[in-house]
Amino acid sequence: MLAVNALDLFVPALPVAFTARMRTMHPLTAIMFRHCFRFMLFALPLLAHAALPQSSNVPGGVAVVPLCSVAVCAATPQAWLGEQPVLVTADHDEWVAVVGLALDTTPGAHELRVKIGAETKAQEFVVSPKDYPEQHITLKDKSKVELSPTDEARAEREIVAITELKLHWRAAQDTDLAFILPVKGKLGGRFGVHRFFNGEPCAPHVGLDVVVKRRTSVKASAQGTVLAVADYFFNGKTIYVDHGNGLITMYCHLDRIDVHPGESVSKGQRLGLSGKTGRATGPHLHWSVILNGAMVDPELFITMGSARH
Ligand SMILES: [Zn+2]
């Protein structure tokens, strides 16, 4: 009856800045946020020449910021966006920062703090605005969208835990930015879509939905280490894979989890089986990509190649 088949009914992980503000948000905002909960229920020096994600200097995108020529800077530069360390890699003859931009990033000029040897400098880059599509969903049976106070409290606790995981940093020499889609299937909900349930704005969709049958093998997008597994109220059974240097992938609504925290996984290795656990209208994989704590568009990592060449 509605165009909500095989969608998650909750945005699994909100932009870091948004979730970080939850404890101090304006009461009206907090009310809206809780309201949405109810409706959402239903419905290093890396390898030289490393493949880079598609550069997209927009909120929810990835900025590739040149830092220094490899010939000039022998040691890998370090970079931070605010307090958060940022992935730095060599792209041909140049060191570049690969910066995740949260959906609530303000368009305009931004700065990285860059340390090259003993010198620290600011490196400016510009973020352009982007209008993501809207999805309006009308839910007639409101009895199915109510959260009990217990469930609501659980969901809010889990968002805090998710936020902490997103900020995880592990320095690595072998981060692979050339991802594979974890499952083959029809693409469903795209990244960044603003969802409205019965006219009420809810948090945007910060992942990519791939519609697949239940118990389809879900594969690791790239090599990494299992950071955590969990069974969340909204996201259902979830796996996080840490690819190093602030790059993390998240696989949600799984039927079965076949890995454990701390386990090394290779690209294409089965992590588990797809499902519809948590709050999902049908079996699908919700796949998110986190970079320096920001949820970014996963499709940028699949359409590979340096956008700067
Ligand atoms: Zn989703």
3-state secondary structure 191-216: CCCEEEECCEECCCCCCEEEECCCCC
- Using DSSP bridges, classify how beta strands 270-273 and 236-244 pair: parallel, antiparallel or unpaired: unpaired
What is the spatial distance between Cα 264 and Cα 280, in angstroms, rounded to a whole number?
A: 29
Q: Kindly tell me if the per-residue pLDDT of 33 is higher than 80.
A: no
Q: Kindly tell me if the per-residue pLDDT of 207 is higher than 80.
A: yes
**39 CA to middle of ligand 1, Å?**
15
What is the spatial distance between Cα 74 and Cα 52, in angstroms, rounded to a whole number?
A: 21
Question: Looking at residue 208, what is its pLDDT?
Answer: 97
Q: Kindly tell me if the per-residue pLDDT of 150 is higher than 60.
A: yes
Pair (96, 185) in one structural domain = no
> Does some domain include residue 9?
no
Pair (181, 263) in one structural domain = yes
Q: Kindly tell me if the per-residue pLDDT of 18 is higher than 50.
A: no
Helices 149-166 and 27-42: angle between axes, nearest 10 degrees: 100
Pair (122, 137) in one structural domain = no
| Number of separate domains in the chain | 2
Question: Looking at residue 139, what is its pLDDT?
Answer: 74
CATH of the domain at 237: 2.70.70.10
**218 CA to middle of ligand 1, Å?**
15
The residue from 102, 127, 152 where one domain ends is 127
| pTM, rounded to two decimals | 0.85
Pair (236, 270) in one structural domain = yes
**132 CA to middle of ligand 1, Å?**
15
**288 CA to middle of ligand 1, Å?**
8
> Does some domain include residue 147?
yes
Pair (260, 221) in one structural domain = yes
**232 CA to middle of ligand 1, Å?**
14
Question: Looking at residue 141, what is its pLDDT?
Answer: 64
Pair (220, 71) in one structural domain = no
Question: Looking at residue 198, what is its pLDDT?
Answer: 83
Q: Kindly tell me if the per-residue pLDDT of 1 is higher than 90.
A: no
Mean pLDDT of 157-172: 96
The residue from 95, 127, 159 where one domain ends is 127
Mean pLDDT of 275-294: 95
Mean pLDDT of 53-62: 97
The residue from 111, 127, 143 where one domain ends is 127
Where b means 16+ CB within 10 Å and e means fewer, 74-110 reads: eebbbbbbeebbbbbbbbeebbbbbbbbbbebeeeeb
**281 CA to middle of ligand 1, Å?**
11
Q: How confident is the model at residue 304 (pLDDT cuts 50, 70, 90)?
A: very low
**244 CA to middle of ligand 1, Å?**
24
List C-alpha distances in Å: 142 to 35, 137, 198, 244: 12, 12, 10, 42
**118 CA to middle of ligand 1, Å?**
43
Percentage of the chain lying above the pLDDT 70 cut = 80
Which of 25-34, 67-76, 79-88, 154-163 is the least confident region?
Answer: 25-34
**Torsion over CA of 134, 139, 144 and 146, rounded to 10 degrees?**
60
Q: Kindly tell me if the per-residue pLDDT of 296 is higher than 80.
A: yes
**289 CA to middle of ligand 1, Å?**
12
**216 CA to middle of ligand 1, Å?**
17
Pair (118, 253) in one structural domain = no
Q: Find out whether 287 and 293 touch, Cβ atoms under 8 Å.
A: no
Which of 9-13, 219-223, 299-303 is the least confident region?
Answer: 9-13
Mean pLDDT of 158-168: 96
Q: Mind listing the pLDDT tens digit for each residue in 231-270?
A: 999 999 999 999 999 999 999 999 999 999 999 999 999 9
**198 CA to middle of ligand 1, Å?**
19
**37 CA to middle of ligand 1, Å?**
15
- The whole-angstrom distance between residue 30's C-alpha and the CA centroid of its chain comes to 23
Mean pLDDT of 216-220: 98
Residue 23's domain comprises: 16-44+132-301
What is the spatial distance between Cα 178 and Cα 190, in angstroms, rounded to a whole number?
A: 19
**The residue to which tokens 């349930």 are assigned:** 197
Mean pLDDT of 180-191: 95
Q: What is the mean pLDDT of the chain?
A: 85
